[in-house]
Structure 1
Amino acid sequence: MIDSQALQTLLEGVATGAIAPQQALEQLRYLDTETISDFARIDHHRQLRTGFPEVIWGQDKTTEQILTLFRAYAARNQAAIATRIEPDRIPRLQAQLPELTYDSIARIAALQPQLPQPQPGRLAVVSAGTSDLPVAEEAAVVAELWGFRVDRIRDVGVAGLHRLLAERSRLDQADVLIVVAGMEGALPSVIAGLVACPIIAVPTSVGYGASFQGLAALLSMLNSCAPGMGVVNIDNGFGAAQLAGRILRRLHRLGRSDDQ
Structure 2
Amino acid sequence: MIDDILEQLQNGTLTVAETKEKLASYENLGFAKIDHHRKNRQGFPEIVFGEGKTADHILAIVQSLRARNDSVLVTRISREKAVFVQKECPDFEYNEIARTLAWVKEKPKRDGPYIAIVCAGTSDLSVAEEAAVTAETLGIPVRRIYDVGVAGLHRLLDNIDEIRSATVSVCVAGMEGALPSVLGGLVRNPIIAVPTSVGYGANFNGLSALLSMLNSCASGVSVVNIDNGFGAAYNAALIYKLVHKEEINNEDIIS
| TM-score bracket for this pair, using the shorter chain length | 0.7 to 0.9
1:254, CA displacement in angstroms? 7.6
For the residue of structure 2 that corresponds to 1:131, the secondary structure is helix
Residues in 2 aligned to 1:70 and 1:35: alpha-carbon distance in whole angstroms: 14
Residues in 1 aligned to 2:189 and 2:102: alpha-carbon distance in whole angstroms: 30
1:189 to 178, 181, 190: 181
Asked whether the equivalents of residues 44 and 53 of structure 1 are also in contact (C-alpha less than 8 Å), the reply is yes
1:185 to 1:147, Cα distance in 2 relative to 1, 3 A? same
1:135 aligned onto 2:127: yes
Asked whether the equivalents of residues 71 and 137 of structure 2 are also in contact (C-alpha less than 8 Å), the reply is no
1:100 to 1:254, Cα distance in 2 relative to 1, 3 A? closer
Asked whether the equivalents of residues 125 and 153 of structure 1 are also in contact (C-alpha less than 8 Å), the reply is yes
Moved more, 185-194 or 241-250: 241-250
1:229 aligned onto 2:229: no
For 2:54, the equivalent position in structure 1 comes to: 62
- Give the AA of the match of 1:236: N
For the residue of structure 2 that corresponds to 1:179, the secondary structure is strand
Alignment of 1:67-78 (within 5 A): 67-76=59-68, 78=70
**Where in structure 2 are there 5+ consecutive unaligned residues?**
11-22, 249-255
Residues in 2 aligned to 1:253 and 1:68: alpha-carbon distance in whole angstroms: 33
Compute the RMSD of aligned alpha carbons: 2.8
1:145, CA displacement in angstroms? 1.3
For 1:35, the equivalent position in structure 2 comes to: 28
For 2:197, the equivalent position in structure 1 comes to: 205
1:253, CA displacement in angstroms? 3.3
Residues in 2 aligned to 1:145 and 1:172: alpha-carbon distance in whole angstroms: 23
1:78, CA displacement in angstroms? 4.7
1:245 to 1:39, Cα distance in 2 relative to 1, 3 A? same
Asked whether the equivalents of residues 124 and 178 of structure 1 are also in contact (C-alpha less than 8 Å), the reply is yes
1:60, CA displacement in angstroms? 1.3
1:172 to 164, 170, 175: 164
Provide Cα deviations, 1:191-216, integer angstroms capped at 9, x if missing partner: 00000000000000100111111111
Residues in 2 aligned to 1:54 and 1:136: alpha-carbon distance in whole angstroms: 21
Residues in 2 aligned to 1:152 and 1:111: alpha-carbon distance in whole angstroms: 20
For 1:11, the equivalent position in structure 2 comes to: 6
**Where in structure 1 are there 5+ consecutive unaligned residues?**
1-6, 16-29
1:152 to 1:116, Cα distance in 2 relative to 1, 3 A? closer
For the residue of structure 2 that corresponds to 1:239, the secondary structure is helix
Residues in 1 aligned to 2:34 and 2:112: alpha-carbon distance in whole angstroms: 27
Residues in 1 aligned to 2:125 and 2:40: alpha-carbon distance in whole angstroms: 31
Asked whether the equivalents of residues 70 and 111 of structure 1 are also in contact (C-alpha less than 8 Å), the reply is no
TM-score normalised per structure 1: 0.83
1:148, CA displacement in angstroms? 1.0
1:108, CA displacement in angstroms? 0.8
Asked whether the equivalents of residues 107 and 138 of structure 1 are also in contact (C-alpha less than 8 Å), the reply is yes
- Give the AA of the match of 1:83: T
